[in-house]
Structure 1
């Protein structure tokens, strides 16, 4: 019996031990579940707190990001937009106000992108579930679940990375946006921010690019449907790149609008037919021929006049009204595209050229070519480049001051002999000296010796002061007689030379050559306007102006400027040639050639040469080549005027 009891006690102890271990296991499991639940709850609480406050922090600290940058617009002299600045990140945008966006446009985008937009508070949970179900059935990603508010949050503040953290941040910002703004404000921001293909951001820029108008209230139903279909796949559904797919997508949009009762089925069918017949506008404002270099110069001038950084102007929605003559600019661009008007290339480099045209009656720059590529992205040679002007400088520094002194007239007889002035001995081309000749004849034939003699007689200081009144400031390095032949320390730009000659053409009155008429901000407030009275002044007597103009017309009629003649039009002007003067090249080699001249309407300066002149890159043509380009360009620009 004792043994049996011992066995039973042993069995009981074993059962008790197993029960204890089981109980402890259960307790540990329950504790684990509790810990997991607690951790999950804490994590959920952290996520909820993060979602609640992250979006608020982003909007508080980056509220300016919601103010969509809008491309600056350059307008020509008629008020027509001819060029838009690209945004710092690339592309173009025109911001539309809520009042500018028709109800039908809003309904089209809501019905296509977020049909429950009015019902949710930033995140459409029902839409997410519906999209997930559709995607499961299709085995792909046939539908997305992002609301319009989420898309705005992503486009403005986030990247397109497909990560959980990005999605969490997107949701947080979307909820915060809904707390800070009403639905119509969010929709307006979205419609201004959304990418619409072809470098266009926002519906206003897209409307201009695809339909030739930025007036959204003029859009027809079929056009609205095309626009509303683009955001799903901008590269595929924009009508310029693929009109057939764009029309197909527009038909889907129209079907959704009819299904939601926004339009009738008959209206949808009629609009779908119109969408299928889409034709792109012939020319986009961004591509207006040859305006890039002009626009770049106008932007720089606007920044200088307003005190605003150029980048702020480019992306701040400013409208910059200019004196650009679009027809003249197109004609000038066309001439610069013709190789026949330019000297031959050399050493694998293209000869360059620049031309600027000023209306001397008001000082407005009518047209500009900053180089032969015409894109405005590189060096603007018409404005930024300075070169020795050669004999084109003689009327400004020698003949003009002499006439203004009252001691000389166009009929004055000047000596034409080899002379030395304190070690400086100017020489005539070809070594020919005529003994004496009139001032008119000396300028007409562009003879060197009389020009230097005149400057010496007038005085260097008086001549430099005269040039300054015409807009060309010279420094102490230029206080020598060689400036009579254009030997300047720094040189001049084509714009400066045209400015100086415009005074001669304008009866002696200086009118500041300028690109910008006015600058208006995005709110329609004018912040700058050119003041013609403040920017005008007498620079020389009317008699001096008339005498110079007479002699310069004679230079074109009978002298070195004959290539500048234009049929049935009076032209005055002067060539300029700067010799290369290198022993290893021909004496006929030139560094730069110029022509500056005027018609009754406009004044222009032309330069030709290489960006970098050396023994392997130089001109083999005289100033008559520049005069010929002047004739061709001005003839086409002034045709029919």
Structure 2
């Protein structure tokens, strides 16, 4: 019995040993697999997503007078301004290390003492409430992971932290961390936070209390920033100040003085959204000039200096907000409008509006070539080419008779034909018959070439006489029309229209700078004669409502809807393009989709009146 019992006991002991051995092997394999995972995962993540270590930075768009028009939000709807360690005061760097990871310069990515402390505390609390994360781990989490608290995520975090320590120097890691960390109120990084909470752009101007306030935020960005919770922010700041004093970063007197200081928020300028259409157009131009994508321009920390004249832009937007300046709305659409103002001496676009109440990303009617210009095109395609040919003057007599040109039978709008009128009167009264006759005389090809020199490039389908009255295959934009008229205003010299003066990158290097290249594209005589006729068109002709205290030259344009089921006086497009001694502007009014329920009965005098209302304020 005893022998049998001993045998049974030995067998049980052996089974236990075997099971223990198997378990030890399994645990060893799991540990080995985990070790291999930790060693490999981080490196693979860094290799697969190298762009993660290039922190996106909010680009800035600036007006001609230096006014910041917009800081472009990052994809995560926040803002970041990157700063190098050399731009930061040493006290700020030392304080963040003391608060977040006092052994940062001695460990290799993982603070094992901190991990052990967190493990004990988490075991006591029976949950994952403390991470013991080093600065490198926090950076790994911020760049590559979510904020969940589970074992796999912690392993991934540790693996990436170890890989970061192998790839980057301690200073590089610290700089990335101080620029990447979320600081509340949509601000990422210490520089953006300093600007938001204290109005300080130069980090070396930060005081001791301000540095402590910033170092207090990462523990709970939504509850410890001074803008959202002043009391909690002050309490956490005082804790940070005591840590700073304990680490001999500041004296006791400095700590006491900082604790007794009161938070003073920066004086916030009145937020005013100005020039949404302008900024959209400027970004498009910047893309064309630099080859950078829109995402790169928005998140690369670029500074775009534009030619926007704040006074002109505000004047335009103020008048556009007044209902009585526009035609009545249709049954299911609002009557729209767009306008561009250019400084004809330089070609710089001073103001631009792509709609009556535009927002960023909206349809920009000021730059889309889709509108029929009507008679506003006559100076560009009829009378300008005739004057430039040297065969005609403003006083040349032109036939005003009903004429058929094959199947094309143009007619005067009022049905009245005078037999003969001077070019000056034909333009002044916007008579159709002389304009078509004149285009036939100078030749469509010659006229198209003249228009192209002014920046109006017509489609291949526009090779016919109907262009004499502004009937085009696709259309033109207000920007194109304004640029063309600058040539008449500027003595025959074309300065190509532009919105962007210069672009600097995040390192303040100039990556683009506009260089003007003025060209004498038509004779000064043609420009002077055209200006004289266009002044008369405003003082005595169809453009009377554009008159102001200064001399104005310009031309109206109207295109009829010409659709079954609508009145004969239904209009699709209303234009006025004109200039003063300094500014050239183009105004368009109409519906996005004209039809039986959406058309205008007002004439182009309404566009001329809008021109006057805005430019009289400049």
Shorter-chain TM-score above 0.5: yes
Deviation, 1:479, is: 1.6
SS at match of 1:151: helix
Match of 1:329 among 302, 313, 317: 313
Q: Which has the higher mean CA deviation after the structures are superposed, 410-419 or 359-368?
A: 410-419
Gaps in structure 2 of 5+ consecutive residues: none
Cα distance change of structure 1 residues 458 and 72 upon mapping to structure 2, 3 Å threshold: same
SS at match of 2:218: coil
SS at match of 1:477: coil
SS at match of 1:415: strand
Cα deviation 1:49-96 (Å, max 9, x = unaligned) = 322232223224433321112233323334554323333454332221
Tell me what 1:433 maps to: 417
Cα deviation 1:566-623 (Å, max 9, x = unaligned) = 3x32222112111111231222221111111112222111111121111111223221
Cα distance change of structure 1 residues 330 and 127 upon mapping to structure 2, 3 Å threshold: farther
Cα distance change of structure 1 residues 222 and 396 upon mapping to structure 2, 3 Å threshold: farther
Match of 1:197 among 176, 184, 187: 184
SS at match of 1:69: coil
Partners in 1 of 2:23 and 2:95 — Cα distance? 47
Q: Contact 1:243–1:278 at 8 Å: present in 2 too?
A: no
Tell me what 1:77 maps to: 64
Q: Contact 1:210–1:280 at 8 Å: present in 2 too?
A: no
Cα deviation 1:370-420 (Å, max 9, x = unaligned) = 222332312211112421011111111111111111122222233333222
Cα distance change of structure 1 residues 177 and 557 upon mapping to structure 2, 3 Å threshold: same
Tell me what 1:547 maps to: 529
Tell me what 1:629 maps to: 610
Q: Contact 1:83–1:292 at 8 Å: present in 2 too?
A: no
Q: Which has the higher mean CA deviation after the structures are superposed, 93-102 or 120-129?
A: 120-129
Deviation, 1:163, is: 2.5
Cα deviation 1:158-194 (Å, max 9, x = unaligned) = 2223331111010111122223322221111011112
Cα distance change of structure 1 residues 614 and 153 upon mapping to structure 2, 3 Å threshold: same
Q: Contact 1:370–1:376 at 8 Å: present in 2 too?
A: no
Map residues 432-471 of structure 1 onto 2, 5 A cutoff: 432-471=416-455
Q: Which has the higher mean CA deviation after the structures are superposed, 129-138 or 319-328?
A: 129-138
Map residues 607-626 of structure 1 onto 2, 5 A cutoff: 607-626=588-607
Tell me what 1:5 maps to: none
Cα deviation 1:305-337 (Å, max 9, x = unaligned) = 222333233322333332222333233333333
Cα deviation 1:436-466 (Å, max 9, x = unaligned) = 3332222222222222222122221111110
Q: Contact 1:240–1:280 at 8 Å: present in 2 too?
A: no
Tell me what 2:540 maps to: 558
Residues 1:44 and 2:31 are matched in the alignment: yes
What is the aligned residue count?
Answer: 618
Cα distance change of structure 1 residues 250 and 159 upon mapping to structure 2, 3 Å threshold: same
Residues 1:361 and 2:340 are matched in the alignment: no
Partners in 1 of 2:165 and 2:614 — Cα distance? 58
Map residues 207-286 of structure 1 onto 2, 5 A cutoff: 207-243=194-230, 245-271=232-258, 275-279=262-266, 281-283=268-270
SS at match of 1:492: coil
Larger radius of gyration: 1
Partners in 2 of 1:42 and 1:136 — Cα distance? 25
Partners in 2 of 1:403 and 1:496 — Cα distance? 21
Cα deviation 1:191-231 (Å, max 9, x = unaligned) = 11122334332223333344444332233344434433333
TM-score under structure 1 normalisation? Answer: 0.89
Tell me what 1:293 maps to: 277
Partners in 2 of 1:223 and 1:347 — Cα distance? 57
TM-score under structure 2 normalisation? Answer: 0.93
Tell me what 1:484 maps to: 468
Q: Contact 1:250–1:275 at 8 Å: present in 2 too?
A: no
Tell me what 2:159 maps to: 172
Cα deviation 1:484-537 (Å, max 9, x = unaligned) = 11101111011111110111111101111112223333333333332223xx31
Partners in 2 of 1:435 and 1:509 — Cα distance? 36
Tell me what 1:575 maps to: 556
Partners in 1 of 2:234 and 2:547 — Cα distance? 54
Cα distance change of structure 1 residues 141 and 33 upon mapping to structure 2, 3 Å threshold: closer
